Amino acid sequence: MKRNYWHLLLLSLLPASTLLAGPLQDGLAAYEAKQYQIAHRHWLPLADKGEADAQYNMGLLYLNGFGVAKNESTAVQWFKKAARQSSADAQYNLGTLYYEGRGVTRSSREALTWWTVAADKGHAHAQYNLGALYVLGIAGNKEEFIGIELWKKAAAQGHLESRQALSNAYAEGLFGLARNPQQAKRWAIK
pLDDT in tens, 69-85: 999 999 999 999 999 99
Provide mean pLDDT across the span 98-109: 96
Instruction: Work out the pLDDT band at 143, boundaries 50, 70, 90.
Output: very high
pTM, to two decimals? 0.85
Q: What pLDDT, on the 0 to 100 scale, is given for residue 20? A: 39
Nearest alpha carbon to residue 136 among 168, 106, 187, 174: 174
Q: Distance (Å, rounded) from C-alpha 154 to C-alpha 111?
A: 18
Q: What pLDDT, on the 0 to 100 scale, is given for residue 8? A: 34
Say if residues 145 and 159 touch (Cβ distance below 8 Å).
no
Provide mean pLDDT across the span 89-110: 97
Q: Distance (Å, rounded) from C-alpha 79 to C-alpha 16?
A: 29
